[in-house]
Amino acid sequence: MFNFMRYRYICAALSISILLAGAGAYFYRGGFNYHIDFVGGIEFRVGFEKDLDIAELRSSLSKNGWDDSVIQNLGGTKSQFLIRVKRDEQGLEEEFKAIMKKSLSENPVTVQNVSWVGAEVSSDIKWNSFISILLSLLFILAYMAIIRARYRFAVGAVVALAHDILIILSVFLILNEQISLNVLAALLTTLGYSINDTIVINNSVEQNLRKLKGASEVDIFNISLNQTFRRTMLTSITTFLAVASIYFIGGEALEGFALALLIGIVAGTYSSIYIASTVVLAMGKEGSLRHSVA
């Protein structure tokens, strides 16, 4: 039998290290790299007839007053670009075309797609996103604490879920990845995925608390984790492979969603084993958990 609980403090230290690295990246970068969905402005997807160095494109835009634009290559080519400008004036598409015609007349450009989001709309989206995640955590806490009458398990589960969300956001900060509505969808999906695994483990713990009267709580968790480990890993690996295929062949539009889910699957599996269990064990005295499920 593998002694999972032996490494719970090491794993807690690992999680804290990642979260601190994310916090450091947050202050270093001056906040999250929000998609246009959250900050407002306009986003162009453009294609040039010939390959173009991104530095030359950036220089051309900066010389014409677009020094706040964010530019990135698309699809691994030097002719496709995504340009984001955090401005909401009308006529920006025509202004962009005029700049390109003047600065890069020998390399015609085609504007393939334009996305525009107003500042007021984006502010509402950001606030509603925060509320949706917070409400999800509160409903899960209420369900497990009131309906299932397992307060310590409820707190452990919610702490594990909050951990998963913060780990995803920390990795996105470290990698400077965009936070978009697709990423928000992945965060909420991760909550459902992670809580399912946590509840399975908790159910096994409850059953063993009733059956193994002489075992300590730490031993009960170790036994339960060993009993559910195969199921946990089979579910996690198959889900990970499915999401990985989306990340590699699903196209640029799904990359952020798939990356957040990949991180969430790893973090959710890890937190179900170590974070939730560690929190439950840290709350209360030896034997109090067995008394609560008796």
- Whether the pTM exceeds 0.75: the reply is yes
Show the tokens assigned to 30.
């001056």
What is the overall mean pLDDT for the chain?
85
Checking if the pLDDT of 286 tops 70, the result is: no
Checking if the pLDDT of 126 tops 80, the result is: no
Spatial neighbors of 205 by CB under 8 A, at least 6 apart, are 153, 220, 221, 224, 280
% the chain with pLDDT above 70: 91
Average pLDDT of the segment spanning 55-70: 82
Question: 233: burial class by Cβ within 10 Å (0-12, 13-18, 19+)?
Answer: exposed
Query: Per-residue confidence at 258, pLDDT binned at 50, 70, 90?
Result: very high
**Domains plus CATH for the chain?**
4-34+121-293 (1.20.1640.10), 41-117 (3.30.70.3400)
- Return the higher-pLDDT residue of 168 and 47: 168
Query: Per-residue confidence at 287, pLDDT binned at 50, 70, 90?
Result: low
Average pLDDT of the segment spanning 18-27: 95
CA pair distance 175, 33, nearest whole angstrom: 10
CA pair distance 177, 252, nearest whole angstrom: 13
Contact call for residues 219 and 195 (beta carbons, < 8 A): no
From start to end of the chain, where are the E strands?
A: 33-34, 41-48, 70-73, 80-85, 109-117, 178-179
pLDDT of 84 reads: 81
Listed range (106-120, 180-194, 244-258) with the worst mean pLDDT: 106-120
Average pLDDT of the segment spanning 56-85: 80
